[in-house]
Amino acid sequence: MGIRSFFSKPLAALAAYQTKKWLANPEKTQTNWMQKLVTEAQYTAFGKDHGFGEVKTYEDFKKKVPVRDYEDLKPYIERVVKGESDILWKDKPLYLAKTSGTTSGVKYIPISKESIHNHINSAKNAILAYVHETGKADFLDKKLIFLSGSPELDKKAGILTGRLSGISNHHVPGYLRTNQLPSYETNCIEDWETKLDKIIDETIDQPMGLISGIPPWVQMYFDRIQERTGKKIKDVFPNFELFIYGGVNFEPYKAKLFESLGKKIDSIELYPASEGFIAYQDSQKEPGMLLLLDTGIFFEFIPAEEYFDENPTRLHIGQVELNKNYALVINSNAGLWGYSIGDTVKFVSLNPHRIVVSGRIKHFISAFGEHVIGEEVEKAMKHACHIHPEVEIVEFTVAPMVAPAEGLPYHEWLVEFARPPYNPEQFARDLDQKMVELNVYYQDLIDGNILRPLVIKPLKNNAFIDYMRSIGKLGGQNKVPRLANDRKIADALQ
C-alpha cells in the first residue's frame, strides 16, 4: 500500500462522518444555507434590489426572488463581467466559467472564492466516498488521467476566465498532481485529435489506475489506443480500476466502452455544472447520485409539468416526492439566485436524497457536451434558407450520429424538402457555419476535430406524416421534436 492510498482511508472516514452529520437533518441544512446566503448577500446590488434584509422564511424568499434563467439574470451578470464588485455576491468573482448560451451565445457563470470549494471538494469527496464504501484505494498510487478542456485562462476585467474543466484543473490537490496525466502542456493543446495522440504518447506505457472524462471522449481515447496496440484496454492498462464520468448520459456509450475495456470496472457518476457541483454517486450499491445539500447551494424544485406556468409551484427539499420530474433551481454562494439550470431531476431515494438526471426542460442535443438547442437549429436553418432562396422545407429534425461506420461523429439533419437546394454541399456548409456561430461548444468540437461538420439526410415525401401516423400521433397539436439526444426518431424516419 502506497502513501496516498494509506492516508486516503482516514480522510475518507472523516468525509463520511461530515456527510453523515448533514444527512441527519437535510431540511434544516438547506434552511440554514438559505438564511446564510441571503444574509451574506443582503448588501449586494441584487440583495438590495430584492429586499434580502426582509427575508426570514422560505415563503418570504419566494416572494422576493423570481425564478430566472441566464437571459433574465444577464443584466446583473453583465455588470459582473465588466468588473463591478458586490453585484450578485460579495466582491468580484474568483473566476468566470465560460459556457454555451441559448440566445446569448457565450454565457459567463461567476465562481466566487466561496463557491470554488463546492466544485473542488465535491469531486474529491466523490472519490473518498468510493474509498470509504469499497475499501479500495490502490488506484490512488497509480497514474490518474483527467481528460479536460484547456487549463489556459483568459481575463475579463481582471477576472480569470475559462472552461470549468480547465479552471478545476488548477485546483487538483498537490498530493495527486504528481500522479496526474496528461501534462499541463498537452492539456493546453486545443485541437482534440492532436491532443489525443499526445495524451496516448504520454500515457500508453504508464500504470493507469483512474481515468476521468466525458464518455465519448474517453471512448475515442480507447479506440485510438486499440488502433495503435491491437489490444484490449485491460491489457494495455492492467491496473485500471476506476472510471469517473459526467456531463452526458453514459448509457449510449456503456456497452461499447466496456467492450473496449475487455472487463467491467467500478465507475462513479458526477453531476458537475458551471453553476455548481450538484451531486455525485456516493454508493456502488444504490442507484442515483447524492444531492449535495451542504456545499453552498440552496435548492428549489418545480414540478416539470408546471415549469412554463405563470406561477409554478416551488418546493424545498422537505417537500419533494419520489419518481416525479422536477426542474432544478439553484441559489448559490456564487450569486446565482432563483436560477433555473435547465435540467430535470427525479428522486430515486429520499433518505438520503439521491437523484438521477431525467432530461432537459427543452429538447436538446448534447451527445458530446455541446448542448445544441431547438432555437439554434431553427435559426441556422432560417439563415441557410435565406442564402438559398430556392429552398423550401417541409419539416426537419436533428439527431447525433455517435458511432458512424466511417469517420468522425456528426450531427445528422433529416430534412424533407419541398424544393431542394441547387447546391446541396454549399447549403450544408452554410448551415454548419451558422451553427458554429450560434453555439460555442459546437464550434469547439468542430475546431477540435471531435465532430465533423453536419450531414444532411434528405427524406422522401411525407416522411414526417408517415412517421406520426405510425405512432398514432398524426394531427392535433402533435409534432416531431426539432431535435433529440438519441436516434429513436431519426432511425424511424429512415
The share of the chain scoring above pLDDT 90, in percent, equals 59
**Count of CB atoms situated within 10 Å of the CB of 46:** 20
Q: Give the Cα separation of 153 and 189 in Å (integer).
A: 13
Phi/psi-derived region of residue 338, left when phi > 0, alpha when psi is between -120 and 50, beta in every other case:
left
Residue 88 burial (C-beta neighbours within 10 Å; 0-12, 13-18, 19+): buried
Hey, is 270 helix, strand or coil? strand
**Nearest residue to 41 (alpha-carbon basis) of 390, 472, 336, 321:** 336
Question: What structural domains and CATH numbers belong to the chain?
Answer: 1-295 (3.40.50.12780), 364-493 (3.30.300)
Q: In sequence order, which residues have a C-beta less than 8 Å from that of residue 278 and are 6 or more positions away?
A: 271, 272, 289, 291, 292, 297, 328, 330
Give residue 228's pLDDT: 93
| Cα separation values, 15 from 18, 207, 232, 280, 355, Å | 5, 27, 36, 14, 20
- Single-letter amino acid, residue 364: F
pLDDT digits (tens, 9 = 90+) for 41-86: 999 999 999 999 999 999 999 999 999 999 999 999 999 999 999 9
Q: Computed from CA positions of residues 206, 211, 213, 215, in that sequence, does the dihedral angle turn out positive or negative?
A: positive
pLDDT digits (tens, 9 = 90+) for 263-275: 899 999 999 989 9
pLDDT digits (tens, 9 = 90+) for 378-428: 889 989 999 999 998 888 899 999 989 899 999 999 999 988 999 999 999
Q: In sequence order, which residues have a C-beta less than 8 Å from that of residue 263 and are 6 or more positions away?
A: 232, 234
Q: Give the Cα separation of 489 and 467 in Å (integer).
A: 9
Q: Nearest-5° angle of CA 291, CA 297, CA 303?
A: 65
**Nearest residue to 298 (alpha-carbon basis) of 14, 58, 482:** 58
pLDDT digits (tens, 9 = 90+) for 323-376: 898 999 999 999 999 999 988 888 999 999 999 887 777 677 888 888 787 778
Helices (H), 105-163: 116-134
